[in-house]
Structures are given as structure tokens and as C-alpha cells.
């Protein structure tokens, strides 16, 4: 089941934040050139366990730590991988070797210049510890550093998604480059000192409270146009503070009082309240956020294909999306695994099997599967209200078919 949210939850940004970040000049001038300074306070819905993205699939970790770390490749507006810390690259005709030439003069937060030795160490750790890297690892023959700014990756056989994994924004899968010395110090253990090449560096992390970052004054910005995760990054704010605020009501109140400049996971039912507040600007954006159910095919009843097919027929996705997110302006249904605009999107993929709500057909398939009525256990993140609502709505719909 796939349901793409235009924002999943509404993103709220205070208009008076602009005066804090971009002080001076007219509003039109600020929009054109921007201004440096100030502290941006962001309220996020989940705390994080640690600061090592190779050891976590937590999206909240990614949205904080990706101001610190950067990758060899990042995605553009169509989710296509484009060179970032890589200046240029070549791939052999048989697809079994990639040669990367790194950008020169890129420095880590500890003052050290990034070289191929750092990239080699980072990639080798990524292949062993990271979910994305583990997907690539079986196909890799070697990672070599033949020159100060050259990295060569050799494959046992061609592996088409390689660059997509290097730049993936899903579940912290992408490769982030760190100093070789840091990797040697921690090995496969959780790295407790986030040192990267990004526009911000770590000031402090207080578990269950906040992550504080400050502008990296020696940042080596990309020379290309800014888009999505790639291109030129401009650190306008002096500091970024990500506060962990699990209660929705507290995040909403914090936006209203100005304690927070930005809040995530704001329930859509609050939209009308914020819409009438002249001090608050609301952005409803098309995002790649999607709702889906991951099925355990190793245990009954879903080890049986007929039970899995029954699940498709048992769910009314329009009703489900309305119950979970609300008004249809905040979501849309899409049969493809990837959202429109993504280079992998195919609007016809699975369309004939998507959103075919038929409870009678579901019951027939469950009987064919030999389902005995045993309880179905569903797991969700209790601190994400969208996941909680989804689980409860799915439970209600499944109950209708027995």
C-alpha cells in the first residue's frame, strides 16, 4: 500500500523567522540575496539514539546529521544521483569499474583536507555497517585509492543501483565521508564524534533534549546551482538547534508562541488555525513521503501468497488516507513505489492491482490461504502519530473482513 503525502504533516515556518535570519533590507532584497545570522530552532518529533548514520535507519538522525556530513553523490530535483564531493567520474563500458576524481580543497571540520584515503575508509566501513552499503557489498571486488584524489571501485559484476545507493535519502543509506583517522579510532563501533565536510559542525548533543550545530566557517561549497540535496549549500544561520519534542500539542504551541521557528509532524487538522495567523506561513509541499505496509513473509499467515493478496483487497486506500492524514489536498494515491518526478517512477507499475477494495474477494483469498483467524501483530513507531493512526485504521479495515 502506497500513499504519498504532499507534506505527510504540515510544515510550519514562522514569517518573523526571516527577520531573525535575514536582518536588514527590504523583503524583496531578502528574498533575492538572503542574509546571514541568527539561530534557527526546529522542533522534531523523535529523539535519536546516537549520531552515527551507518548504524541507524532513523530519519530524524538523517535530517540533523546531513548538515554535518556530505556524500560523493547527492540527488537532484528528479532524485537523480549527481556528483558532489566527486568532481568527475568514469564508468567502464562493462559497468564493472568506477573511477572517481575528488574535489580538491575540501576540508573536514577538524581542519584536515579530504583525500582518497578518507573516502576509501568511509566506503569500506559503509559496505559493512550501513543498510545501503550492505546491499552493494556482495557485488564489490575492491575499493582502491591509487592517487591522492582518485578512488577506484571494482565490481565482480555490474550493479546498476550503485550511484543511487551512494546518494540515497532513504533510511540513512547513503555514503557519508568522514576522516580516515576517525574510522580507524572507532572501527565498527558507533562513532561518537561526527566530523564531516558539511556546512555545519556539531556543537553539542544532549540526548532527549537537542542537537546544536554551528556554521563551519571553512566550508568548501559546491560551485553548481543549488537544488534539492546537491549544488551549492549556503549556511545562512549561525546556529541550528534541533529540539526533540514528542508531544504534538507542544510543537504546535511552540510555533504559535515563537519558541520554534519550524515544526514537523504538525497534524493537518491544525491547518485552519495556522492559516488565519498572519505571523505564520504554511508550506504544503510535494514530498516523497509515503505510507506503506511491510509484510513479514516468513511467518503465517503472510507466508502464503493468497493471504498477501487478500490484504490488498481488504484495504480501501482512499478511506485509509482520509482517516490518517485528513483532507485530500494533503495526500494522493500513487501505484508506483516511487513518487512522480522521481527518475524511477512508473505510473503504470502495479496499477491493475492497486487500490482494488473488495472485502468479499479478500475473504475468499483468506479462506483459500487456510487462515485460521489467528491474531495479526502490527508494529509501529509510537512517537509518530501518522504511523499510530495508520496502524489503527488498518486494524479497523482488516477487522471488517474477519
pLDDT digits (tens, 9 = 90+) for 214-231: 999 999 999 998 887 899
Lateral strand order in the sheet of 280-283: 200-206, 210-215, 239-244, 39-44, 262-266, 10-14, 280-283
CATH superfamily of the domain spanning 73-186: Dipeptide-binding Protein; Domain 1 (3.90.76.10)
**Which residue from 250, 248, 215 is spatially nearest to 234, judged by alpha carbons?**
215
Ramachandran class of 265: left when φ > 0, alpha when ψ lies in -120 to 50, beta otherwise: left
What stretch(es) of the chain map to CATH 3.90.76.10?
73-186
CA 45 to chain centre: 14
DSSP 227: B
CATH superfamily of the domain spanning 290-400: Dipeptide-binding Protein; Domain 3 (3.10.105.10)
pLDDT tier for residue 278 given thresholds of 50, 70 and 90: confident
Classify 295 as helix, strand or coil: coil
d(Cα 195, Cα 180) in Å, to the nearest integer?
11
Which of 258-267, 306-315, 386-395 is most confident? 306-315
- Contact indicator for 376, 391 with CB cutoff of 8 Å: no
**Which residue from 282, 238, 279 is spatially nearest to 21, judged by alpha carbons?**
238
**Which residue from 386, 102, 383 is spatially nearest to 267, judged by alpha carbons?**
386
* DSSP letter string, 174-192: S-----HHHHHHHTTSPP-
Q: Which helix (H) or strand (E) holds 24?
A: none
d(Cα 69, Cα 287) in Å, to the nearest integer?
22
Return the CATH fold of 10-68+192-283.
D-Maltodextrin-Binding Protein; domain 2 (3.40.190)
- Contact indicator for 88, 150 with CB cutoff of 8 Å: no
pLDDT at 247: 87
Mean pLDDT over the full length of the chain: 87
What stretch(es) of the chain map to CATH 3.40.190.10?
10-68+192-283
pLDDT at 383: 65
Those residues with Cβ within 8 angstroms of residue 377's Cβ, 6 or more apart along the chain or in another chain: none
pLDDT tier for residue 81 given thresholds of 50, 70 and 90: very high
Angle at 64 between CA 167 and CA 24, to 5 degrees: 110
Mean pLDDT of 62-78: 92
Which residue pairs, CB below 8 angstroms and at least 24 apart, start in 277-283?
Answer: 278/15, 279/14, 279/15, 279/16, 280/12, 280/13, 280/14, 280/15, 280/255, 280/256, 281/12, 281/13, 281/14, 281/15, 282/10, 282/11, 282/12, 282/13, 283/7, 283/10, 283/11, 283/12, 283/13
pLDDT at 287: 67
Classify 80 as helix, strand or coil: coil
* DSSP letter string, 29-66: HHHHH-----EEEEEES---S-S-GGG---HHHHHHHT
What stretch(es) of the chain map to CATH 3.10.105.10?
290-400
Return the number of other C-beta atoms located less than 10 Å from residue 354's C-beta: 15
Higher per-residue pLDDT: 79 or 162:
162
The answer on pLDDT for 26 being more than 50 is no
Those residues with Cβ within 8 angstroms of residue 352's Cβ, 6 or more apart along the chain or in another chain: none
The answer on pLDDT for 204 being more than 80 is yes
Bond preceding residue 301 cis, omega within 30 of 0: yes
The answer on pLDDT for 321 being more than 80 is yes
Amino acid at each position: 500500500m502506497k500513499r504519498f503525502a504532499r507534506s505527510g504533516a504540515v510544515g510550519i515556518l514562522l514569517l518573523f523567522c526571516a527577520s531573525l535570519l535575514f536582518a536588514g533590507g527590504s523583503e524583496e532584497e531578502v528574498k533575492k540575496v538572503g542574509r546571514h545570522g541568527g539561530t534557527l530552532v526546529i522542533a522534531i518529533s523523535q529523539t535519536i539514539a546516537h549520531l552515527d548514520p551507518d548504524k541507524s535507519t532513523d530519519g530524524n538522525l538523517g535530517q540533523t546529521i546531513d548538515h554535518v556530513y556530505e556524500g560523493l553523490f547527492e540527488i537532484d530535483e528528479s532524485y537523480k544521483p549527481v556528483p558532489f564531493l566527486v568532481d568527475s567520474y568514469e564508468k567502464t563500458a562493462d559497468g564493472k569499474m568506477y573511477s572517481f576524481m575528488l574535489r580538491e580543497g575540501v576540508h573536514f571540520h577538524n581542519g584536515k583536507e579530504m583525500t582518497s584515503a578518507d573516502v576509501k575508509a568511509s566506503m569500506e566501513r559503509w559496505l559493512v555497517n550501513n543498510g545501503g552499503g550492505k546491499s552493494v557489498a556482495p557485488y564489490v571486488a575492491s575499493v582502491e585509492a591509487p592517487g591522492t584524489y582518485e578512488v577506484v571501485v571494482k565490481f565482480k559484476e555490474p550493479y546498476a543501483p550503485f550511484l543511487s545507493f551512494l546518494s540515497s535519502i532513504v533510511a540513512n543509506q547513503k555514503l557519508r565521508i568522514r576522516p580516515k583517522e576517525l574510522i580507524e579510532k572507532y572501527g565498527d563501533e558507533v562513532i561518537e564524534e561526527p566530523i564531516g565536510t558539511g556546512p555545519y559542525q556539531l556543537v553539542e548533543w544532549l540526548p532527549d533534549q537537542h542537537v546544536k550545530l554551528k556554521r563551519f566557517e571553512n566550508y568548501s561549497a559546491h560551485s553548481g546551482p543549488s537544488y534539492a540535496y546537491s549544488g551549492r549549500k549556503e549556511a545562512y544561520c549561525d546556529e541550528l538547534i534541533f529540539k526533540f519534542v514528542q508531544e504534538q500539542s507542544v510543537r504546535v504551541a511552540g510555533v504559535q508562541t515563537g519558541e520554534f521557528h519550524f515544526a514537523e509532524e504538525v497534524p493537518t487538522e491544525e491547518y485552519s488555525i495556522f492559516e488565519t495567523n498572519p505571523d505564520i506561513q504554511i508550506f504544503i509541499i510535494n514530498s516523497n513521503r509515503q505510507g506503506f505496509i511491510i509484510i513479514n513473509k516468513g511467518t503465517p499467515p503472510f507466508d502464503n501468497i493468497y493471504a498477501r493478496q487478500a490484504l490488498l483487497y481488504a484495504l480501501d486506500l482512499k478511506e485509509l488516507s482520509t482517516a490518517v492524514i485528513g483532507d485530500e489536498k494533503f495526500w494522493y494515491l500513487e501505484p508506483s513505489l516511487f513518487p512522480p518526478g522521481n527518475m524511477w517512477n512508473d505510473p503504470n507499475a502495479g496499477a491493475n492491482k492497486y487500490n482494488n477494495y473488495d472485502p468479499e474477494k479478500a475473504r475468499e483469498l483468506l479462506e483459500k490461504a487456510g487462515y485460521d483467524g489467528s491474531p495479526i501483530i502490527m508494529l509501529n513507531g509510537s512517537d509518530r502519530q501518522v504511523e499510530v493512526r495508520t496502524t489503527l485504521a488498518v486494524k479497523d479495515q482488516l477487522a471488517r473482513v474477519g
